Amino acid sequence: MLARTSQFARSIHLSVLRAPATTAALGRRFESSLAAPKAADGSDEEVFVTHLQGADQGVAVLSMNRPAAKNALSKKLLADIRATVDRLRSDSSVRVLILRSHVPGAFCAGADLKERATMPAHEVSDFVHGIRSLFNDIENLPFPTIASLDGAAFGGGLEMALACDFRTAGAGARLALSETKLAIIPGAGGTQRLPRLVGMHMAKKMIFTASPVNASTAESIGLVTEAGEQAYPLALNLARQILPQGPIAIQAAKVAISKGAGTDLATGLAIEQACYHRVIPTKDRLEGLQAFREKRAPVYKGE
């Protein structure tokens, strides 16, 4: 059904952008296989995936479930997230991915400081490199990603959300890059992705003061796409708005926007042209035209 979509994204990255492999070797040190959840709700796993059905088919939900540490990023949790992301990347049934927490009141508390305190300096550097590599992989997934932020997202937790295409925030959300409290800086993309979203002035304020912002403030400064009472219904509603669109076109648009944004206009237009060229021969494009003529909803298959 959707096998062509992942092939499309790979071909754009390789033939047009010549992007390097998104997963660095250092990040692979923390990789492990992920077993299927032992319970229907994934309660025995720190990371589990739910594939929604019915009208929501095509939406996958990645849930983090480390309640004792509020989803703090340990070696094991990161390895499980990495293994899951690697598996989802090649899953042709996925059209939209939602990242959320299975732990009430917390999206992700950031680094596991107890574990971090046991690491020698060289291991800390390699470990942070691995986190950065993983978040780059999330950013470069071929389908749209939405971070559903109910509760606290601090440090690396917010950096994970920043790597997603969209963020929704519930009323209890508290978002912060608080690393300067520990005499370090955000090291998994926060100093680069945050100012691209909220501007340099606001990013400096958040990082220099280490102060959290609430959901309404996050929405007003552009840190989150939408804020409301609960984040997950907002994320699911956004996913439902994306689902009817052509999946190959969505992938092409994501590449054109994301990769073109960091270039000059001429280069960005060349990337856009290359992405457009890729959608011309697709069956989905013809289906869209035919559905328009017949005044019916199109049925896109990712071909």
Catalytic residue, chosen from 156, 170, 187, 246, is 156
Please name the residues in contact with 83: beta carbons below 8 A apart, sequence gap of 6 or more: 31, 32, 33, 34, 47
159 tagged catalytic: yes
Q: Nearest-CA neighbor of 168 among 252, 112, 72, 96?
A: 96
Residue 101 sits at φ, ψ, to 5 deg, of -105, 145
Please name the residues in contact with 249: beta carbons below 8 A apart, sequence gap of 6 or more: 279, 284, 285
The answer for 155, left when phi > 0, alpha when psi is -120 to 50, beta otherwise, is: left
Extract the tokens encoding 32: 């492990």
Q: How far is CA 138 from CA 97, 257, 280, in A?
A: 10, 16, 27
SS (H, E, C) 123-160: HHHHHHHHHHHHHHHHHCCCCCEEEEECCEEECHHHHH
**b/e map 215-239, b = 16+ CB within 10 Å:** bebbbebebbbbbbeebbebbbebb
Q: How far apart are CA 303 and CA 283, in angstroms?
A: 5
Catalytic residue, chosen from 45, 46, 179, 219, is 179
Angle at 135 between CA 301 and CA 201, to 5 degrees: 115
46 tagged catalytic: no
Catalytic residue, chosen from 159, 176, 189, 235, is 159
Catalytic residue, chosen from 79, 111, 227, 235, is 111
Catalytic (active-site) positions: 111, 156, 159, 179
